Amino acid sequence: MLIDELTYLSGSLVDDQINCAASLSTEPSPDFILHCHPFYEIYYYEEGDVTYRVEGQEFRFDSPCVLLIAPNTFHGVLVNNQSPYRRASVHFMSSLLEPDSRRLLTGAFRGANICYSLPPEHQLKHFIQDLLAVSKLPAEIRSIAIRSRLTALLCEIYALHSGASVPQTAQSPQISRILDYLNHHLADTLTLDQLSQRFYVSKNHLNVLFREATGTTVMQYLRLKRLAVAQKAIYSGQALNEAAQNAGFGSYSNFFRAYKQSYGCSPSLSLNDLSRPVSVVKARRTDMPLPSAEQRQEQERTLGLSLSPRSEADR
């Protein structure tokens, strides 16, 4: 295929440590589809009327761009209408990269700017298409091709890191402070009372602000973030009890209920199913979209998470 012949990305690639797909949809979504997961994600936007949220930041796109999602980052998309929505995503584990270049190639994911507009002449989509095309190669060479083509894609993103324009985002300074505090204290005991006192805002208003920025409540956000942290630790070989404690669940029973309600299986069964220490395919199947209102009420009644009995202010 000549480089000028590529109009839209197409295809998919599925492997234990990488999941790459190009997608087209025309159905609007009633609300943000929010989740977090323990691996890196490259989101490539081609066209469509969508709004994307990443940890309270909001992005609107009107031209091709790339969005970088670090592990355990709360994010999601709202499809605003029936316009064709074309995008591609690359989910991968950093273990695919050479140890001496791993931190350098994933550095852009940790920066303040994670969204880059692409000029018409930019060829990033061709690097993604090259990665998608690995699925058509002979099996004996796919592993080598995955690593080399992912590295090439990340090198191209690294080049963008200091030179591309950044779309306007919207996030209140107060929400930024709250999110920063939560993400640095996931392992601590946190309640709405503590947070409202610390940030000088009522519990009701705190949840209103938080839902407007992230699409969910404070405690639901904490639960999903803690599950993602625990899941990554378990997949990396950490003992179940230790992972539960380090992620801030307080007790293994709280963690067990949260895990089973979100993933549909126990943590031990999930661990026993893995053929490798980390599997993107497994993690993708157990991704964490927000539950329905009924599911959320049932979860928050049983999870613990340092919550007192539910009141109107806790919703």
Confidence band, pLDDT 50/70/90 cuts, at residue 214: confident
- From CA 152, how far away is CA 146, in angstroms rounded? 10
What pLDDT is attached to residue 296? 39
Q: Please calculate the CA angle 271-90-34 and round it to the nearest 5 degrees.
A: 70
Least confident segment among 145-154, 171-180, 265-274, 305-314: 305-314
- From CA 29, how far away is CA 35, in angstroms rounded? 15
Residue 167 scores a pLDDT above 60: no
Instruction: Please say whether the beta carbons of 231 and 257 come within 8 A.
Output: no
All domains of the chain, ordered by start, with CATH?
8-160 (2.60.120.280), 172-314 (1.10.10.60)
What pLDDT is attached to residue 7? 64
167 alpha-carbon distance from chain centroid: 19
Least confident segment among 54-63, 84-93, 135-144, 284-293: 284-293
What pLDDT is attached to residue 286? 42
What pLDDT is attached to residue 232? 78
The single-letter DSSP state of residue 290 is P
What pLDDT is attached to residue 217? 83
Q: Which residues make Cβ contacts (< 8 Å) with residue 292, sequence separation at least 6?
A: none
Mean per-residue pLDDT, 173-195: 87
Range among 98-107, 212-221, 225-234 with highest mean pLDDT value? 98-107
Range among 144-148, 156-160, 184-188, 261-265 with highest mean pLDDT value? 144-148
Name the nearest CA neighbour of 171 among 114, 118, 228. Answer: 114
pTM exceeding the 0.75 threshold for the entire prediction: no
Residue 5 scores a pLDDT above 90: no
Mean per-residue pLDDT, 292-313: 37
pLDDT in tens, 246-284: 888 888 888 888 888 776 777 776 555 443 333 444 444
Mean per-residue pLDDT, 6-33: 82
110 alpha-carbon distance from chain centroid: 13
Residue 304 scores a pLDDT above 50: no
Mean per-residue pLDDT, 241-248: 88
Q: What is the chain's mean pLDDT, rounded? A: 78
